[in-house]
Every structure is written in C-alpha cells, then in structure tokens.
Structure 1
Amino acid sequence: METDYSADDIAAATSLQFFQYIYISITTFWTYNYACSLHEEWRFLLVSHWTKAKGLYIATRYVPFLLLATNLYLSFIPNETPGKCRVLDNICSGLDILLGVCSECFFILRTCALWNNNRILLAAILVTAFTFLGASIGITFATTAPATYAISAIPGITGCYQSSSSLQLFIPFLLLCAFELGLMTLTLIRAIQSWRQNPSRLYIVLLNHNIFYYTCGLLFSVANIFTSLLLHYSYHAILHDFQFIILAILATRMHRHLWQMKRQSHGSDALMQIPMSDMSPPECTT
C-alpha cells in the first residue's frame, strides 16, 4: 500500500538530500585541496620555526576535518534522536566558531602589522573581537538549545534538521560582516597612507591578501544572512560551514605564501618594512 506524504514531508526530505550532496561536495573539495598542497604543507610544517602562529596554522588547517566528519556523521547515520541531533549540531556550531576565530586571528595580526603594531589599535580590535565573539556564542547556543529537531518522515532519508528555525541565527554573520568590514577599512586606510612610502612586493602581496580575504568573508556573510532569513528546513544552514572552510583555506594558503616569500626575500630590505616574519610581531609601539 502506497503512503501519501505531505508537501512538507517531501520538502524536508529534499532539503536533507541536498544537504548530503553539498557536504559530499565540500568534503571532496577539501580533500582535493589538501592533497594538492600536501608537499607545501609538510615543507612548511617541517622547516618553519615553532611559533604561536604555527600553532594557529595547525588548528586552522585541521579543525575542518573534525567539522566535516561530524557533519557527515550527522547526515548519513540513520535513526537519529532529537537529543543526538542537538548534541551533534552544537558540536558543529562550536567547531564553526573555533575555525572562524582561528582564521580571523591571522588577519588581525596582519592588520596590526600594517599599522606597525600600534597598541591602541590592537586593544580596540581585540575588545571588538571579544565582544562580537561573546555575543555570537551566546546567540548561537541560546538559539539552538531550545530548538526542535526533526527527521524525515520518508523512510531511507537520513539526517535531521531544525523544524523551528529562529531568525536570530543571522546575527552572528551580521557581526562577522561588521568586523571584517572594519578590518578592511583599516587595511584600505593604511594602504592609502603608505602606498608611496612602502612599494615593496611583500607589502603589496600583504594588502592583496587582506582585501581578497575580507571580500570573500563579506560575500559569504551576506549570503548566510539571506539564507538564514529566507530559507527553511536544512537549506537555511547550507552555507554555514562552507563559509568557514573556505576562509580557513584562504587563511592557511596565504600564510604559507607569505612564509615562502619571507624565505625567498631573507636578508633583503623588503622585510624590514613590515614586521611580519612568522606572523609573530615584535614589541608593540604606540
């Protein structure tokens, strides 16, 4: 006997299947990216000095494996319960936040380096970052904790989703968008002020990296704001993890590129203009 399913059941099942396809694609893309850069990866890990920036690099580079594994487990393991879905979703949210913080830390350091590690600017950036981070964590877990989770009513469709999505989920991306816009503004101001005085190739690459990273972050944040507000079922979270994984790829690739340029330019006057070295700035000056 055939069973009739409602339009909501079909829409929910379709969103779960689409979510699975997206995560398979993201996992394939991440694995391919890692395999293609494996030679550079291990050369950097084995040759570069152990600094705080290197520890930050390792965290940014390998947290996505945990994030993808958790989401794949959530998407493909059958017979989920609402409690299990909530726990796994909270783990994914925590990994997203950790990955976002690690990626942004690279560019906080870079922005401060462009401003000669000014103490006042660094303090202002850190206060803003911790304020936005605390607000994002509070909103994220306050929203997901009481949320109702559901599984597909159609047999054979695995995964679960929030059946009662909250509009507050767009706020962390709005805060991230504002923070990156602020860092981009600081970068552009410094570029205008110092362009003629500091025409070194390293300086130009550093500015290009910063602007490209912030532009990608802003575009993804705006896209996530709209998907969180307008889409339902699993669709509203379809770009959440993708944004942080792309930003992690950009942050680590750009860091390796800067490290390679430092090695190639070792002993030249170009590096004297920007105290980047291994992303471990010298003593701050006001």
Structure 2
Amino acid sequence: MLFLPIVALVTLWVYDYILCLPDAITFLADSRWGLSTFLYLTCSHLPPVFMLLNMLGECPLCRSYNIANTYVGTVLMICAECIFAVRAYAVWERGRWFAAVEIFAVFAYVASITVSLQQFNSRVSEPCWIPGISGYLDTETSTRIYVAFGLLAVAELQTLLLLLYRVSKDRGGWGIDNRLMRGLMKDNLLYCGSGFAFSVSVILTTIFVPFPVGHMLAECQVVVQALLVTRMHRGFWGSDRAFGVIATDISLTTWMVGALDFT
C-alpha cells in the first residue's frame, strides 16, 4: 500500500510531461538560456530519478538508495526555491544588497536543512526505513524533520514577503497594477501556499501518525512542487511572449528592462 502513492506520482509526472512536452520544447528553443533555465531543467527532469530511488527501497542497497533519495529531493526543492529567488531579484531591480541577502539566506537554509536531514538519516535505526518503519519516530529523530520542513516553509514565506513588500512600496510601473506582476504574485501565492500546507502536513503527520505517512507526504510535496514551478515558469514566460514585448527569458535580469508598463 505504501508504494501506491509513488505509483500515482509517477503516473502524474508522466502524464504532465507528455501533455506539456510541446510547450516545453518551445520554451527551451525560444527562451534565452541562463541560470533559471538550468534550474527549470533540473526541476523538470530530476523527479523521475527521485521517484525511482523511492521504488528501490527493498533492494539490497536500500539504505544507500534512501539516503540518495533524500539528497535528490533536497536538490529539487532548492532549485524550485531558487527560481522564485531569481524572480524576486529581478523585481528588486537587481540590487547588489538584495543579491547578497538572498545568497546568504540560500546558503544558510541549505546548510541547516541538509544538516538536519543528515542527522535524521544517521539516527534512523532500521537499515531500510522506507517503508520499514511501522511505528513513530523518537522525539530527537522527529525533531530533525520538524526543523527541515519548518525551515523550508520559512524560506518560501520569506521570498513571498520580500515580493509583497516590493510591490506595496513601488507605486510605479512595477506595482500590483502591472500585468506581469499580478501573474508573478499569483504564482508565488500558489507555490508558497501549497508548500506551507505540505510542510505543516508533514510535521503534523510525523507527530500523530506512523512515519511512513509523513514520508509519503514529503515525497508528494517534492514532486508536486516541481511540477508547479515548471508549469509556472513556462506560463510566465509564455504570457510575456504572447504580449510580444520582451523576446527573452523574463525571469532573468533582462526581464527588468527599464520600468515599462505591461498592463
């Protein structure tokens, strides 16, 4: 039964990949390649590796596969968060101080989450804890999960608040009346809302129900948010292309050319 959610996630990813393949090819062919494009490629093509590692839980090397699964999932979430960080950097007009703050925050969050997950992996006594553990985690082990997913929720909330502050402060061309800004805010609200709900759900299920349930929710969070961010990235790029104003990847620094009004 524990493998059914993984099968469902694989089916969802394959369906979405086939459905969006024409749009993805158009995006890769016509957009300007840069940092966000490579982040997009990671989020769109790494989930199969992540899900495959989950399905190898009963193999002789299951312990190694499970640890690798943890780090692949971490890389996916980092890339997804960085896409929104790059967008926020563009909205803040590529300020050096903002870039410094974001880089410091990214490294701080990544280091803290990685250490927490590493400590979690080292404390689990079962050689194959996916799907081996049928009971609850001890307090010290479960605390590592609370810290990791709590920090992830805080990171998403931070990016959203920085964007909200910039929008409320800027009454000019990049205010909330701007068409692209409205789309950006909608994406951030949906992504942050879903991420926060998933993170809280993982923490609560780890507290009140056996750990495999929380683990499956964490797996769903990684795959669903990877699907969300890739769709949002293509959609945001496509909305600008449809309007015919900037013929480059608007999630990069070229997006903030002057203070044009795209409404």
* Same-fold status (TM-score > 0.5): yes
| 1:205 partnered with 2:188 | no
User: Which residue number in structure 2 is paired with residue 110 of structure 1?
Assistant: 87
| 1:250 partnered with 2:222 | no
Counterparts of residues 1-286 of structure 1 (less than 5 Å):
17=1, 19-74=2-57, 77=58, 80-81=59-60, 84-149=61-126, 159-161=131-133, 165=137, 166-167=141-142, 168-194=144-170, 197-198=173-174, 199-266=177-244, 268=245, 277-281=249-253
Counterpart residue type for residue 262 of structure 1: D
Distance 1:233 1:265, change over 3 A: closer
Distance 1:162 1:195, change over 3 A: farther
TM (norm. structure 2) is 0.86
SS in structure 2 of the partner of residue 149 of structure 1: coil
In 2, distance between residues paired with 1:251 and 1:242? 14
In the alignment, structure 1 segments of 5+ residues that lack a partner are: 1-16, 153-157
The CA RMSD over aligned residues, in Å, is: 2.6
Counterpart residue type for residue 163 of structure 2: T
In the alignment, structure 2 segments of 5+ residues that lack a partner are: 257-263
Counterpart residue type for residue 65 of structure 1: P
Distance 1:151 1:86, change over 3 A: closer
Q: Give the conservation status (yes or no) of the 8 Å contact 2:33–2:249.
A: no
Distance 1:170 1:85, change over 3 A: farther
In 2, distance between residues paired with 1:241 and 1:136? 16
- After superposition, what is the alpha-carbon deviation per residue over 1:194-213, rounded to whole angstroms, capped at 9, x for unaligned? 35644231121112111211
Shift of 1:85: 2.6
SS in structure 2 of the partner of residue 259 of structure 1: helix
In 2, distance between residues paired with 1:70 and 1:112? 34
Shift of 1:45: 2.1
Distance 1:91 1:163, change over 3 A: farther
How many pairs align? 250
Distance 1:59 1:90, change over 3 A: same
- After superposition, what is the alpha-carbon deviation per residue over 1:2-46, rounded to whole angstroms, capped at 9, x for unaligned? xxxxxxxxxxxxxxx2x2111111111111111211111122223
Q: Give the conservation status (yes or no) of the 8 Å contact 2:56–2:62.
A: no
Distance 1:119 1:151, change over 3 A: closer
Q: Give the conservation status (yes or no) of the 8 Å contact 2:160–2:188.
A: yes
TM (norm. structure 1) is 0.79
Q: Give the conservation status (yes or no) of the 8 Å contact 1:150–1:163.
A: no
Counterpart residue type for residue 106 of structure 1: I
Counterpart residue type for residue 212 of structure 2: S
Shift of 1:145: 2.0
Q: Give the conservation status (yes or no) of the 8 Å contact 2:43–2:79.
A: yes
Larger radius of gyration: 1
User: Which residue number in structure 2 is paired with residue 155 of structure 1?
Assistant: none
